Structure 1
Amino acid sequence: MELSDEQEELLKQRQKGVLPEIELPGQVYVVDWKERVLRPKDRLDLMPLKFGEKGKGFYADGYHFLYDTEKKEFVEIDDFKLRSNIVIIKLPGGLVLDPVGVARESGLNERLFIASNPIIPKLSAEVLRVSKNEIRRMINNKIWKVPLITRVARKFKKGRGK
């Protein structure tokens, strides 16, 4: 199956190691599908956000989680207090986030996989306003799986800022 010129170029970039990106409110993150982590682009002061277990995972489904638009971090449901800077983010599944990563993980031909699961050049997460009733509804309908998302602690070597 033949890919469009745009898909060919996006596939070449991905094969060269360029990772996909997704925009959450006010911050762009690099998607590391293999490690199931969103890494803040151009912001060393922000923590990476882990969205699943390595090698497991939500290919077609997505995740819902609370996100603080000011601090640019996930909010644990236990710590949740209704504030205007807290939103619900719907993160798409791997077929949308990184179809090349999913193909590699599954041992599939990348080109054939991309033909039916195209690479989306500019991803933006869906943002939903928060209400306690909406969170209860999502938990009751098993849309929201607790624990949701975890933060990844950065390991700093003594004397180095990286």
Structure 2
Amino acid sequence: MERALPILEIEGTDFLVDVKKLEFKEKENPKNSISLFDMRDLGKGRGYVLEYSPQEKNIPSLFSSTMTVSVTIPEMVALDPEGMSEKYGVPLEMFATKNDFDLMVDQTALKERFSGLLPIVDIAGHPFYVDLRMDMLRPKDDFLSNGIVFSKIEDYYVDEKELYSIPYNPKSHEFQEIDFSSITEIPQDIIVVSFPHETILDPVGYNRKHGLDELANLKQTNLKSHFKAGQVSWKDTGIVEAIRENKANSLKSETPKSVDQVKRRGPKL
């Protein structure tokens, strides 16, 4: 039997506290929900501030002129300690000294990052440092490689999957551009790999690079010391269709012209 979720009343409306999704769902209308990350984080265990519309029972919609009320929401460890203990594997008896940040952010990985260690991405068996100061994934122990420069792979970011999917040369440890307009066969020495955005790979480095607070958004993204890139099948890249179309166009250009076509296109006398 599922555990009954705690209830938080916001301006006369009951909301269920859902720590699994880190959101608040209206009890009488579960489709109406408010994400924890749509609130302003006060930090240091002080909770969150929500600009709430009693009329819409949510954050006011875009261009709405409805009246809003600033509501302070306690931390999740206070609203549902049992749920947070279960989700993050921290005993309840330790909660006296823990806040949301302590539980939601990997403190070991954070300590390592602050000590100067860069996150690592394993790509096809080779480790790459996430080096945002150099704007790249830098291959370990390969100083001849150009690596994978983020500014050169912007067009390979897939929004709906929240991943980069890039052609990669395992021998040179580099991103390798492919001309889809002329390719006629699948490259033998190239594979397609996928990995997350810089905000996931190194949120601390990303914050520093863009002048944000080092700890900004860490509750939402968390942070990890190690990642493993996925491998994408060529058939999922659109290359098969490109090859078919390029071959068809090549055949058209090679088709011998009829006598009539030659006469029509010949020089005028």
| TM bucket normalised to smaller | 0.5 to 0.7
Deviations along 1:39-92, one digit per CA (max 9) or x if unpaired, are 111233433321217xxxx7x843221112233222221296523432112231
Q: Distance in 2 between matches of 1:133 and 1:62?
A: 13
Q: Which has the higher helix share?
A: 2
Identity of aligned pairs, percent? Answer: 26
Number of aligned residues: 133
**Match status 1:64 vs 2:168:** no
**Equivalent residue of 1:104, what SS?**
helix
Q: Distance in 1 between matches of 2:236 and 2:105?
A: 42
**Match status 1:51 vs 2:150:** yes
- Any conservation in 2 of the 1:82–1:132 contact (CA below 8 Å)? no
> Shift of the alpha carbon at 1:124?
1.2
Q: Distance in 2 between matches of 1:5 and 1:132?
A: 34
Higher relative contact order (CA 8 A, sep 6+): 1
Alpha carbons of structure 1 residues 115 and 67: separation in structure 2 relative to 1, 3 Å: same
After TM superposition, the runs of 4+ consecutive aligned structure 1 residues lying more than 4 A away are: none
- Any conservation in 1 of the 2:199–2:206 contact (CA below 8 Å)? yes
Q: 2:133 aligns with which of 34, 42, 57?
A: 34
Report the residue type matching 2:138 in the other structure.
R
**Equivalent residue of 1:76, what SS?**
coil
Structure 1 match to 2:34: none
**Match status 1:124 vs 2:232:** no
Structure 2: runs of 5 or more not aligned: 1-99, 243-269
Deviations along 1:94-150, one digit per CA (max 9) or x if unpaired, are 221111112223433333522221112320112112249623779xxxxxxxxxxxx
1:7-156 alignment runs, 5 A limit? 7-52=106-151, 61-78=162-179, 82-131=186-235, 134-135=238-239
Alpha carbons of structure 1 residues 106 and 51: separation in structure 2 relative to 1, 3 Å: closer
Provide TM-score, normalisation by structure 1: 0.65
